[in-house]
Amino acid sequence: MTVSVKEVAQRAGVSVGTVSNVLNHPERVSEAARRKVTDAIRDLGFVRNDAARQLRAGRSTTLGLVVLDVRNPFFTDVALGAEDAAAAAGLSVLLGNSDENPERESTYLDLFEEQRVFGVLISPVGDVGERLHRLRERGTPAVLVDRVSADETTSSVSVDDVEGGRVAVEHLIAQGRRRIAYVGGPFAIRQVTDRLEGAQRAIDASPDAALEVLTTHGLTVLEGRRIGEQIAARPAARRPDAVFAANDLLAMGLLQALVMQGRVRVPDDVALIGFDDIDFMTAAVVPISSVRQPSRLIGETAVRLLLAESEDPSVERQRIEFTPELVARASTGVVAEDQRNSGA
Amino acid sequence: MTVSVKEVAQRAGVSVGTVSNVLNHPERVSEAARRKVTDAIRDLGFVRNDAARQLRAGRSTTLGLVVLDVRNPFFTDVALGAEDAAAAAGLSVLLGNSDENPERESTYLDLFEEQRVFGVLISPVGDVGERLHRLRERGTPAVLVDRVSADETTSSVSVDDVEGGRVAVEHLIAQGRRRIAYVGGPFAIRQVTDRLEGAQRAIDASPDAALEVLTTHGLTVLEGRRIGEQIAARPAARRPDAVFAANDLLAMGLLQALVMQGRVRVPDDVALIGFDDIDFMTAAVVPISSVRQPSRLIGETAVRLLLAESEDPSVERQRIEFTPELVARASTGVVAEDQRNSGA
DNA sequence: CACCGCATCTGAATCGTTTCAAAGCAACTC
DNA sequence: GAGTTGCTTTGAAACGATTCAGATGCGGTG
């Protein structure tokens, strides 16, 4: 059924070793032999069996990336950055979607480990320190993405979520808002907690501001819509005058629910700010303010750190933390002259 | 470094065959032996080497999915559907992003073939008939996604793009528009051509309507913005009164460019409709009309067909074609009471 | 012409798992 | 007690690519 090196060797009239050399070390092979072998490969339609190759090599040329939610453009952007950087190093990326579910996360890690992937990038749901430790002991390096590493053994690439949260709420306060709601969850996700902490700091710095926390079951448009409906249903006096959503998908859902009911005006009644600054924010009913993360760069950097660690496992671990950037738009009362040029 | 079955066997005091049986056919093994083996596995931290397993088995439990653009929520939804269906069959999905680039597409197909993936799902850029034929000859089944198969040898799951295009433009005409622009490209992508053909049909059915074609280099927000700026820059009399965008990302970009310049009102001056009906459309500045495709279902169905073909390679090929559905919103002058509940 | 160095080629050994024919063993039948 | 049955276990063979120590051949040298 499948053509193997042996058959190629036979057809070309050389040994299997020579075939392998043509494939992997062409400089060691004479012009004539190379010709014969490449011809035979073409004629027979030979395709290298990666499993056999890996078995011998001990490690694959694939790296695994586990994200919290593939539907979130932030993560597809991270994946894109990772893919680029990996491709440049001759690696490819296997993308897993944990859907904020620790079990699925664990399943993907198992899968990656069985595959002896080159390395793992992960945006974890819960605490994976122990897990990554074991992985590394068995020779698979790992890098945390969008989360600061808790110990010295793991590199990480992230954004200062606390600062991001602080900046977001500071901005809301600067716009005159005082009764602020934080929408996010579950709190097992570190980003959710950190952004809240940042929010709290900004509140603490402003004596007359108050923070209310509304918990969601996930960071999705649907959950945002649910909370938005709750807020819209309240009597006007009991509504917050600003909402900081833990990410843009939530913000999107919130906006839909608030505006479409027609009862709440954004930003007049309620200001709104999200987090991530995904491309779609500019095009929202009311362009939504957000806190921008350099998503592609995060992916690229994570791969770079992974490569460094894999080349020299004793290399010092790095915790790279980017500083997020406030992007103010109409949803927080800033008249947006917002022709930003995102993308390439 | 790595623990193998041999070491597990030694530690447990049994043969390697027994270890393998514990892993793969536990019912064949006595309770006592199973205990000893599982204990040894735990103690040693044994993790199966998938490469070796595959080498023996001849085929992996991973399937490859190549999409045109991971950043397009339509494709992540398809991927999600595929992932679900695959997981139910004990398979996992390797996601590749061709970025509408035939070379990248080809690279992913090579990669998948070397990996001896279980099967390939592909939303092709150009003509891959020949390529898939060769793949199948070597034992890897393939299913086309979001594209009708050109021959009898390949199954496909798609949406009737011609009908979708027709419905979209028919709707624009019904809303009183006559000078209609189609925005899309490159035309190597079949969906782009088919949707145009549908548009043309609707135009042909209405003697006083005219169609103008504006070509883009890709189906992205950025390209949409570029064309939108061109349209906005025209004198009002030379503008179309309706735009049909080949997909939602383009529509999003168009909307941004049209509305944000402040010169063109949507839908008053220019009506706008997209294609795919991604989640974000409801939340746009002006909620954008679209043609909905059952994206998750497409992914699930594709996996189903792949499984069928892999079980019995002689099974009859199917071309499943879903009928897309018009979703009218404010961007085409329909007052949207649009609380649709998308997602789970 | 014997010897050397160099470039090239060879093929057995190896990676770790699964499979499967054969063997071992205990219980049971006649 | 010989024979049979059925359950477990064994261990060598196989999967296909890569590696590497040694073989081969060739031109050049003294």
- Tens of each residue's pLDDT in chain A, 344 residues: 689 999 999 999 999 999 999 999 999 999 999 999 999 999 999 999 999 999 998 889 999 999 999 999 999 999 999 999 999 998 989 899 999 899 999 999 999 999 999 999 999 998 899 999 999 988 899 999 999 888 889 999 999 999 999 999 999 999 999 999 999 999 999 999 999 999 999 999 999 999 999 999 999 999 999 999 999 999 999 999 999 999 999 999 999 899 877 789 999 999 999 999 998 898 888 889 999 999 999 999 999 999 999 988 889 999 999 999 999 999 999 875 443 433 33
Q: Report, in ranges, which bases of strand D sit under 7 Å from a protein C-beta.
A: 7-21
Q: pLDDT-based confidence at B36, cuts 50/70/90?
A: very high
Sign, Cα dihedral of B13, B14, B15, B19 = negative
Rounded Cα–Cα distance for residues B25 and B55 (Å) = 19
Q: Does A272 touch chain B (CB under 8 A)?
A: no
CB contact under 8 A, B138 and A1: yes
Which residues on A lie below 8 Å from B253 (Cβ)?
283
CA distance A163 to B46: 42
**Residue A280 contacts B where some CB pair is shorter than 8 Å:** yes
Q: In the block, which residue shows the tokens 């653009």?
A: B69
User: Position of tokens 């902490």?
Assistant: A197
pLDDT value for A336? 53
Q: Output the 3-class SS for chain A.
A: CCCCHHHHHHHHCCCHHHHHHHHHCHHHCCHHHHHHHHHHHHHHCCCCCHHHHHHHHCCCCEEEEEECCCCCHHHHHHHHHHHHHHHHCCCEEEEEECCCCHHHHHHHHHHHHHCCCCEEEECCCCCCHHHHHHHHHCCCCEEEECCCCCCCCCEEEEECHHHHHHHHHHHHHHCCCCEEEEEECCCCCHHHHHHHHHHHHHHHCCCCCEEEEEECCCCCHHHHHHHHHHHHHCCHHHCCCEEEECCHHHHHHHHHHHHHCCCCCCCCCCEEECCECCHHHHHECCCCEEEECCHHHHHHHHHHHHHHHHHCCCCCCCEEEECCEEECCHHHCCCCCCCCCCCC
Task: Say yes or no: Cβ of B205 under 7 A from any atom of strand C.
Answer: no
Per-residue pLDDT, A1:
64
* Residue B328, pLDDT above cutoff 50: yes
Domain B61-160+295-323 has CATH 3.40.50.2300: yes
Return d(Cα A342, Cα A340) in angstroms, integer.
6
Q: Which residue of A has its CA nearest to B58?
A: A51
How buried is residue B331: exposed, middle or buried, by Cβ count under 10 Å (0-12/13-18/19+)? Answer: buried
Q: Which residue is nearest to nucleotide C20 (CA to C1')?
A: B17
Q: What pLDDT, on the 0 to 100 scale, is given for residue A72?
A: 93
Determine phi and psi for A319, rounding to 5 degrees.
-115, 100
Query: What distance in Å separates the CA atoms of residue A196 and residue A146, rounded to the nearest whole number?
Result: 16
Q: Which nucleotide is nearest to A46 (CA to C1')?
A: D16
Check residue A109 and give its pLDDT: 95
Radius of gyration of chain B (CA): 25
Write the residue in A55, A76, A96 that is nearest to B76 by C-beta. Answer: A76
How far is residue A138's CA from residue B235's CA, in Å, rounded to a whole number?
67
Considering only the beta carbons, identify the residue of B97, B279, B342 that sits closest to A83. Answer: B97
**Nearest nucleotide, CA B46 to C1':** C16
Does the distance separating the beta carbons of B55 and A52 come in below 8 Å? yes
- Residue A5's Cα: distance from chain center in Å? 40
Please report, rounded to whole angstroms, the spatial distance between the CA atom of protein residue B312 and the C1' atom of nucleotide C9: 44
| Residue A208 distance to chain B (closest CA, Å) | 33
Strand bridging mode B325-327 / B290-292: antiparallel
Give the range with max mean pLDDT: B90-99, B146-155, B209-218: B209-218
Please report the sign of the dihedral spanned by the C-alpha atoms of residue B199, residue B201, residue B202, residue B206: positive
How many angstroms is C1' of D15 away from CA of B194?
Answer: 46
- CATH 1.10.260.40 maps onto chain B at 5-48
Interface contact flag, B97 A80, Cβ < 8 Å: yes
Number of neighbouring beta carbons within 10 Å of residue B224 = 31
Strand B119-122 relative to strand A242-245: parallel, antiparallel, unpaired? unpaired
Q: Is the pLDDT of residue B342 over 70?
A: no
Scanning every strand, the nucleotide with its C1' closest to B2's CA turns out to be: C16
Q: How far is the CA of B51 from the C1' of C25 (A)?
A: 36
Least confident of A285-289, A300-304, B18-22, B208-212: A285-289
For chain A, what is the radius of gyration of the CA atoms? 25
Cβ B96–A92 below 8 Å, yes or no?
A: yes
The span from the CA of A65 to the CA of A68, in Å, is: 10
Does residue B276 sit at the A interface (CB-CB below 8 Å)? Answer: no
Q: Looking at beta carbons, which residues of chain A come within 8 Å of B116? A: 49-51
**Nearest chain A residue (CA) to B281:** A284
- The total of other beta-carbon atoms located within 10 Å of residue B28's CB is 12
Please work out, in degrees rounded to the nearest 5, the angle formed at the alpha carbon of residue A225 by the alpha carbons of A242 and B326. Answer: 130
Nearest-Cα distance to chain A for B296, in Å, is 12
Q: How far is the CA of A55 from the C1' of C14 (A)?
A: 10
Fold of the CATH domain A5-48: 434 Repressor (Amino-terminal Domain) (1.10.260)
Minimum distance, in Å, between the CA of residue A201 and any CA atom of chain B: 31
Q: Is B269 helix (H, G, I), strand (E, B) or coil?
A: coil
Residue recorded with tokens 């597990």: B8
Q: How confident is the model at residue B336 (pLDDT cuts 50, 70, 90)?
A: low
Q: Is A50's CB within 8 Å of B114's CB?
A: yes
* Of B121, B68, B111, B63, nearest in space to B87 by CA: B63
Between A341 and B217, the higher pLDDT residue: B217
Separation of alpha carbons A111 and A117, rounded Å: 9
Q: Is the pLDDT of residue B87 over 80?
A: yes
Which of A101, A250, A263, A285 should be substituted to probe chain B, the one whose Cβ sees the most B Cβ atoms within 10 Å?
A285
Q: What residues of chain B, 289 to 328, have a C-beta less than 8 Å from chain A?
A: none
Is A116 within 8 Å of A140 (Cβ atoms)?
yes
**Secondary structure (3-state) at B321:** strand
Cβ neighbors of A27 (< 8 A, separation 6 or more) are none
Interface test with B, best of A54, A105, A249, A250 (most B CBs within 10 A): A54
Q: What mean pLDDT comes out for the span B320-333?
A: 96
Q: Answer yes or no: are the C-beta atoms of A242 and A269 closer than 8 Å.
A: no
B6: burial class by Cβ within 10 Å (0-12, 13-18, 19+)? exposed
Instruction: Please provide the average confidence, as pLDDT, over all residues in chain B.
Output: 92
The pLDDT assigned to B341 comes to 38
Cβ-based neighbour number of residue B92 at 10 Å: 19
Residue B1: pLDDT over 70: no
Is any Cβ of chain B less than 8 angstroms from the Cβ of A42? Answer: no
Alpha-carbon distance A181 to A215, whole Å? 10
Task: In chain A, list all ranges with CATH 3.40.50.2300.
Answer: 60-159+295-323, 161-293+326-332
**Rounded mean pLDDT, B303-318:** 93
Q: Give the number of A-B residue pairs with CB atoms closer than 8 Å.
A: 135
Distance CA B204, CA B181 (A): 14
Rounded average pLDDT over B325-342: 73
Q: What is the pLDDT of residues A270-320, one digit of tens each?
A: 999 999 999 889 888 888 999 999 999 999 999 999 999 998 888 999 999
Q: What is the pLDDT of residue B343?
A: 33
Instruction: Kindly indicate whether the domain formed by A60-159+295-323 is annotated with CATH number 3.40.50.2300.
Output: yes
CATH 3.40.50.2300 placement within chain B: 61-160+295-323, 161-293+326-332
Instruction: Give me B170's structure tokens.
Output: 């028919």
Q: CA of B22 and C1' of D5: distance in angstroms? A: 24
- Topology given in CATH for the domain delimited by B161-293+326-332: Rossmann fold (3.40.50)
Question: Cβ–Cβ of B76/A92 closer than 8 Å?
Answer: no
